[in-house]
Amino acid sequence: MAKCDLCGQDAGFLRKRHKECQQKYDTGTKLIQEKAQAAALASPDFTALEHDLSSVATASFIADTILRALLAEAWQSAVLDALEDNVLSAEEERALVAFKDHFSLAQDELDSNGGYSRLVKAATIRDILEGKLPDRIHIQGEVPFNLQKAEKLVWLFQDVKYYEQRTRRKYVGGYQGVRIRIAKGVYYSTGGFRGNPVDISETVHIDTGLLGVTNKHLYFSGNTKAFRLRFDKIVSFVPYGDGIEVQRDALTAKPQVFITGDGWFTYNLLANLAQSQAT
């Protein structure tokens, strides 16, 4: 006879677990998530909270590994709660960090659903709005950018697709008239070839690479393309759902598009950094 994988007692014929054990497990899981999510933004007595959650887990047949996963999931849900207004306050950040540190939750655990990345991005935007130069990323290895004096890397996007707007000429129309055969392969035309040139604009994928954002410039480095754009030479930023379009201040300049995967953050990062340089 099979054993219940929760309580370890006989579960009955062809049964994996008791119905009552499953109910306790589900109830305990929900309670832990609710308590942890609320606590992650409230900075309570974490020692008492840890004891409380441990007691619930024991009574609900929740293993330590599952409890840890529930804490990480609750923390990410708390981040979403904090960002409902698209602003992360310093108090909210301190509470979330305190929760993370007390339970020794690692960055990869807290980013399974993108929660940790959202926290860092929101905090970066807040730093810029408060007139501070963000220092929230840590790059391992060298970056392929020749930074200028007093220039600091604020953010680095990877695997960014870079597009340019190109214009190509196409002729529309065609031959009009009557052709009279004179000899094999030779024709006499009573009309003529008529066609009108039409310029067609299209967005073309040029390269994929790194997009670096500093306090002064926008850098791109790919396999075949590398360049630097000064913020004060960019006249407009157009946000997309997954990237941004920039328009340089030059007579012949064409729109340039960068697909970063996060249009909201990219736009707010670039627009606010550019604004801070203009003031």
Q: What are the domain boundaries of the chain?
A: 2-129, 153-166+202-278
Question: Taking each helix axis from N to C terminus, what angle separates 115-129 and 64-82, rounded to the nearest 10 degrees?
Answer: 30
Higher pLDDT, 77 or 16: 77
CB 160 within 8 A of CB 210: yes
pLDDT digits (tens, 9 = 90+) for 189-205: 555 555 677 777 788 99
Average confidence (pLDDT) over 20-46:
95
Q: Does domain 153-166+202-278 match CATH 3.30.43.10?
A: no
CB within 8 Å of 58: residues ≥ 6 apart: none
Question: Taking each helix axis from N to C terminus, what angle separates 90-102 and 115-129, rounded to the nearest 10 degrees?
Answer: 140
Full-model pTM:
0.83
What is the percent of the chain where pLDDT is above 70? Answer: 89
Give the confidence band of 22 by pLDDT, cuts at 50, 70, 90.
Answer: very high
Give the confidence band of 181 by pLDDT, cuts at 50, 70, 90.
Answer: low
